[in-house]
Amino acid sequence: MDLTLLHEQLHNRLPLGICLLNAEYQVLYWNDFFSDRTGQSSATVQGKSLLELFPQQARYLKKKIDSVFVLSNASFSYWEHQPHVFPFSSSRPITGEETLMYQNIEFLPVEWAGESVHTICLVVQDVTELASYFLAEQQLSARLEQEHAELKALNDKLSMAQNQLLQSEKMAAVGQLAAGVAHEINNPIGFISSNLQTLQDYAARLLKLTDFYEKVISKTGNDAYLAMQRDTQQRLQFDFVRQDLPELLSESIDGIERVTDIVKNLKAFSHVDNAHWQYANLVEGLENTLKIAANQLKYKVEIHRDYAADLPEVYCQPNQINQVFLNLLVNAAQAMEHKGHLYLRAWQQGQSVCVEVRDTGPGIAPEHMKRLFEPFFTTKPVGSGTGLGLSLSYSIVQKHQGEIDVHSVPGSGASFTIMLPVAGPASAASAVP
């Protein structure tokens, strides 16, 4: 058995590239792994510099080889960092998707001359299979991670939406309750109010009658009668009663009128009244809505009005439009935590009427601008806003074929402008009975 021949055959059958170099980088030997891929046999490259044979990789190879000579220790090259040191094509030219071979390379010291290395051996391992498996795995895991993140975001959104839905259901229930109460209160308020009017009338008459009697008694000139009258009036504190009675009554009537107003507005805003199309004065609607929102605005907001005269009535669903106004007013009020100014403006522009609600709050952050009309988008803490107000407003205005515009300079307030066509939307006009 010829061991040398056996060794050589073995070298050439190895699935590894083997290349021996001397200290001048000259190739002493390489096995078939190299010859098959370069087309140059071991004999033809013998004595040639490896760096010249692979000039593109010379710098990297030199560095690795020098390190072996200097440190007398093996050095390594990894496919993760340097995938294709030798420009060999993939081991899977037909079925593979890689074009170049992925390689791990070991640079081993093999012969020593005293203390220093004399010969080194490059061992090239084809790890294309492993590398492409690993890369595919990495891609898969990246994709999974991304999908996971997307799912998580979706989940968060869903749970937020659920919260908001619950809140909006609560609001709807409260609204219904308010409408019911308003309806029930309406009757007693009605007769209290008319009775008070009558009482005021009767009281006026009674006082007139008393005046008449006083005159008659004074005409008689009878001191006894006059004294009796004075005593009785004093005992009953009649002077005060006479003065206070009309005031009490007119205050009460004033009060009951306010209650009537509130009830009327509550009814107007509850869903009990269905929204029908009619010509309506937008400024009136805005003013009525202001009364509803009054308790949110009263103490902290100074209201400035600038309404154009002779605005035409607009064909719309007044209750729905009032709902829009309410949302804008409440948002403005909530934006202004402390004192602030609310500017209300209405004007005609072509065939449309515009209404602007502007506040001096902190304004809207640019990143929120895009999402403003998104359903369930809210910047208020969970539970205090439905995130539906503006999206509802948007859909109402859309239904009117109008426009809603936002302008905001962060730090100096926000303004919302609603523009509604005077004639109403084309579809509504044709649907009018």
Nearer to other proteins, 123 or 280 (CB): 123
Residues in contact with other proteins, shown as a per-residue x/- string from 354 to 393 under the rule CB under 8 A: ----------------------------------------
Nearer to other proteins, 76 or 225 (CB): 76
* Cβ within 8 Å of residue 3, ≥6 positions away: none
Listed ranges 73-81, 208-216, 240-248, 400-408: which one lies at the site for other proteins (CB under 8 A):
73-81
106 binds other proteins (CB under 8 A): yes
82 binds other proteins (CB under 8 A): yes
Specify the residue for token string 């719309």.
316
Residues in contact with other proteins, shown as a per-residue x/- string from 8 to 47 under the rule CB under 8 A: ----------------------------------------
Phi, psi (degrees; rounded to nearest 5) at 88: -90, 145
Q: Minimum distance from CB of 105 to other proteins (Å)?
A: 10
Q: Minimum distance from CB of 60 to other proteins (Å)?
A: 10
Max distance between CA atoms of the chain, in angstroms, equals: 167
* Half-sphere exposure at residue 81, Cβ-oriented, CA atoms within 13 angstroms: 5
Contacting residue, 41, 56, 73, 176, with other proteins by CB under 8 A: 73
> How many residues line the site for other proteins (CB under 8 A)?
16
Nearer to other proteins, 68 or 328 (CB): 68
107 touches 68 (CB < 8 A): yes
What is the C-alpha separation between 400 and 420, in angstroms, rounded? 7
Nearer to other proteins, 72 or 234 (CB): 72
72 binds other proteins (CB under 8 A): yes
3-state helix/strand/coil string of 1-53: CCHHHHHHHHHHHCCEEEEEEECCCEEEEECHHHHHHHCCCHHHHCCCEHHHH
Nearer to other proteins, 64 or 358 (CB): 64
87 touches 54 (CB < 8 A): yes
Nearer to other proteins, 117 or 293 (CB): 117
103 binds other proteins (CB under 8 A): no
Burial (CB < 10 A; 0-12, 13-18, 19+), residue 186, is middle
75 binds other proteins (CB under 8 A): yes
Phi, psi (degrees; rounded to nearest 5) at 120: -125, 160
417 touches 405 (CB < 8 A): yes
74 binds other proteins (CB under 8 A): yes
Nearer to other proteins, 114 or 188 (CB): 114
Nearer to other proteins, 114 or 411 (CB): 114
Phi, psi (degrees; rounded to nearest 5) at 16: -130, 150
Nearer to other proteins, 117 or 355 (CB): 117
- Helices marked H in 221-338 — which ranges? 223-235, 238-269, 282-297, 318-335
76 binds other proteins (CB under 8 A): yes
Listed ranges 68-76, 295-303, 304-312, 352-360: which one lies at the site for other proteins (CB under 8 A):
68-76
Nearer to other proteins, 107 or 315 (CB): 107
CA angle 118, 121, 125 (to 5 degrees): 165
67 binds other proteins (CB under 8 A): yes
* Cβ within 8 Å of residue 125, ≥6 positions away: 15, 16, 17, 103, 104, 105, 106
63 binds other proteins (CB under 8 A): yes
Nearer to other proteins, 53 or 117 (CB): 117
**Coil, helix or strand at residue 351:** coil
Residues β-bridged to residue 344: 305, 357
Q: Minimum distance from CB of 75 to other proteins (Å)?
A: 6
308 binds other proteins (CB under 8 A): no
Q: Minimum distance from CB of 73 to other proteins (Å)?
A: 4
* Cβ within 8 Å of residue 132, ≥6 positions away: 96, 97, 98, 102
70 binds other proteins (CB under 8 A): yes
Contacting residue, 36, 52, 80, 244, with other proteins by CB under 8 A: 80
104 binds other proteins (CB under 8 A): yes
347 touches 426 (CB < 8 A): no
413 touches 361 (CB < 8 A): yes
Q: Rule CB under 8 A: which residues touch other proteins? A: 63, 66-67, 70-76, 78, 80-82, 104, 106
